[in-house]
Structure 1
Amino acid sequence: MSSHPSLKRRPPPQSHGIVTFPAPHVMLVVFNRPQALNAMTSAAQYDLETLFSWYDSEPSLRCAIVTGAGRAFCAGMDLKEWNQTNARRANGDHTGQPPMPRSGFGALSRRHGKKPVIAAVNGLAFGGGMEMIANLDLVVAAKAARFALPEAKRGVVAMAGSLPRLARTIGRPRAMELALTGKTITATEAKEWGLINAVTEDGPPDCEVLDRPVVKAALEYAASIVNNSPDSVIISRAGIVAGWEDGSAENASRLLSENWEPSLNEGKNLHEGVRAFAEKRAPQWVDSKL
């Protein structure tokens, strides 16, 4: 785990993740269980929830990227751990915390959050991996990436938030096709369906994470985001999430204005942006206090 000189506090430790800061204001999280196709343990998910809560509260950070080590983004839940949990419960042991946090699978599939998270999908995004994708803000995928909800093939259900979200994003017929058949779709199909933003070339098998075309593309998106007012990014994201979750465009617009407009008007970044335009110079943003 590497630190960054502008951070107010160090990021919380991760059991199966590598956290770095490859560009100003940007956090990169690499799911790091390549031998298990980055399948998630419960401990890893709770660690990630703590991490993304820290990310939202860290003033110097404005955008995050998640990707996977090896040939998978994330193959879903660690089924060996799940099987052990089922065995304990069958024997009457119901102690311990739920298998995933309230923010959902990988702390992302039901995350509301404050700041954007981009996925750089380097390979398989199955089960919980797909559930995270369905709730992230931007998604870039390598050509070799594959997406699926194979839960029905294992007698389980994708219960971490992706089913209603996919119905809204890609429509009922395609969401049904994924969930009921368990079929796998390519990155090209995912883009045609409106599930992801862009497709990149694949990197060599031994390519360093930062040298992967898909991560470079995600970093380009992140650079575009962090060059904008951090206040505007937070509030714009909140408006889109509110409309997507609530379903009423007018109600979401009203809540956005009531909840955020006073803070935006009182903040330094709005005034700096307008002043910089009038003075014909680049704005100098300050860390958001929202």
Structure 2
Amino acid sequence: MISTSSFKRFPPPQSYAFVSFPVPHVMLVVFNRPKALNAMTSAAQYDLETLFTWYDSEPSLRCAIVTGAGRAFCAGMDLKEWNQLNIRRAKGEHTTQAPMPRSGFGALSRRHGKKPIIAAVNGIAFGGGMEIVSNLDMVVAVKSALFALPEAKRGVVAMAGSLPRLARTIGRPRATELALTGKSITAAEAKEWGLINAVTEDGAADDDILDRPVVKAALQYAASICENSPDSVIISRAGIVAGWEDGSAENASRLLSENWEPALNEGENLREGLRAFSEKREPRWIDSKL
């Protein structure tokens, strides 16, 4: 594990997730409420928002991975808490805090952010867990993983950002099938539909997190990302997100060039990449200042 002493600031404390730094430049976040299938509480979502905001601001970190403890990735919102919130609302009580932050469920389902996050789906990803998966940059899943939006079966709606995003990723008919029937799909189906990048063998629920094949695969993807210029990774990701979110490819291209090209050209990493190529050596990247 990498020491946190080199960080500009320590990571914010978490009530729900376990945070570690298994290799240089990579943050591993484990949803750690296994007895409840990692169901999310309102407080947990705000804790995670502070964590991912910190991640984007910590120069030495270049990629993050999220996974779940036990046999689930995330079963969605804690329905018992949700029921209690509805009871309080029915009584006319008001809370000062919304059930979830602006960045969405788990601070991820509507996150734009600056740096990439990979999901290592170790089990069921239902409801909010599926909403998280729908908005992450890359997804690896064990072959026994199941994905579903069962909200309609509970009289609620997946309103944390997944519905329009899934329509763009897997198409309207498949997104409709998931949302209106509440059916679950396997990892193999999710890969066929273009929702996930890769499928791995299963691991035992009590395996050490780093020994799980799905986490190892996610770490391999993270290592490939971290080998590249952190400036290029940030800007390339911004271009993909802009094209996915904004609709117009040409408008996204124009905004990417206007907003990011000057910073890229002025950065040391672009100069280092060109020097390294000319000198026939591996580049020595510095932490991004973007």
TM class by shorter chain equals over 0.9
In the TM superposition, what whole-angstrom CA distance separates every residue of 1:212-267 from its partner, at most 9, and x where no partner exists? 00000000000000110000000000000000001101000000000000000000
The residue number in structure 2 matching 1:272 is 272
Could you tell me how far 1:289 is from its partner in structure 2? 0.3
CA contact (8 A) 2:63 2:116 kept: yes
Q: Residues of 2 paired with 1:253 and 1:35: CA distance?
A: 45
CA deviation digits over 1:41-74, x for unaligned, max 9?
0000000000000000000000000000000000
Quote how far apart the aligned CAs of 1:4 are. 2.7
Matches of 1:125 and 1:10, distance apart in 2: 30
Q: Does structure 1 residue 49 correspond to structure 2 residue 38?
A: no
Secondary structure of the residue aligned to 1:141 is: strand
Give how far 1:2 is off: 7.6
2:31 aligned residue: 31
Partner of 1:125 in structure 2? 125
Task: Quote how far apart the aligned CAs of 1:94 are.
Answer: 1.5
Distance 1:264 1:205 in 2: 43
- The CA distance in 2 between the partners of 1:150 and 1:189, in whole Å, is 17
Instruction: Please say if residues 104 and 110 of structure 2, whose CA atoms lie closer than 8 Å, have aligned partners that are also in contact.
Output: yes
Question: Which has the larger displacement, 203-212 or 104-113?
Answer: 203-212
- Which stretch of structure 1 is more off in the superposition, 117-126 or 93-102? 93-102
Q: Does the 8 Å CA contact 1:37/1:71 hold for their aligned counterparts?
A: yes
Distance 1:205 1:148 in 2: 20
Aligned to 2:235: 235
2:213 paired residue number: 213
**Contact (CA 8 Å) 1:3, 1:10: kept in 2 or not?**
no
- Note the residue ranges of structure 2 that are not aligned, 5 or more in a row: none
Q: 1:276 to 1:2 in 2, by over 3 A?
A: closer
Question: Could you tell me how far 1:8 is from its partner in structure 2?
Answer: 1.5
Amino acid at match of 1:19: V
Aligned-pair CA distance for 1:144: 1.1
Aligned residues with identical type, % of pairs: 84
Counterpart of 2:14? 14
Shift of 1:3: 4.2
Find the aligned partners of 2:2 and 2:82 in 1 and give their Cα distance: 32
Distance between the aligned counterparts of 2:140 and 2:77, measured in 1?
A: 22
Give the 3-state SS of the residue equivalent to 1:23 in structure 2: coil
Q: How large is the RMSD of aligned CA atoms in angstroms?
A: 1.0
Alpha-carbon separation, structure 2, partners of 1:33 and 1:105 = 16
* Structure-2 residue corresponding to 1:288: 288
TM-score normalised by L of structure 2 = 0.99
**Is 2:2–2:24's contact at 8 Å kept on the other side of the alignment?**
no
Letter in 2 for 1:205: A
Partners of 1:205 and 1:42 in 2: CA distance: 25
The answer to whether residue 178 in structure 2 is matched with residue 159 in structure 1 is no
CA distance in 1, matches of 2:160, 2:65: 20
Counterpart CA distance in 2 for 1:51 and 1:3 is: 17
Report matched runs for 1:103-122 at 5 Å.
Answer: 103-122=103-122
1:204 offset after TM fit, Å? Answer: 2.3
**Aligned letter for 2:139?**
V
Q: Tell me, yes or no, if structure 1 residue 59 matches structure 2 residue 56.
A: no
Q: Where do 4+ consecutive residues of structure 1 move more than 6 Å?
A: none
Task: For 1:108, give the aligned amino acid.
Answer: L
CA distance in 2, matches of 1:74, 1:224: 26
Q: Does 1:254 align with 2:268?
A: no
Establish whether residue 79 from structure 1 lines up as the match of residue 79 from structure 2. Answer: yes
Distance 1:240 1:288 in 2: 19
Deviation at 1:7, TM superposition (A): 1.4
Name the CA distance, whole Å, in 1 between partners of 2:3 and 2:183: 40
2:200 maps to a residue whose letter is T
Measured against aligned partners, the alpha-carbon deviations of 1:164-189 in whole angstroms (never above 9, x if no partner) come to: 00000000000000000000000000
2:100 matched residue in structure 1: 100
2 CA distance for matches of 1:95 and 1:31? Answer: 25
Alpha-carbon separation, structure 2, partners of 1:158 and 1:3:
38
8 Å contact from structure 1 (residues 3, 20) kept in 2: no
Q: What amino acid maps onto 2:272 in structure 1?
A: E
Change (3 A) 1:78 1:3: farther
For the 8 Å contact 1:2–1:19, the answer to whether it is kept is: no
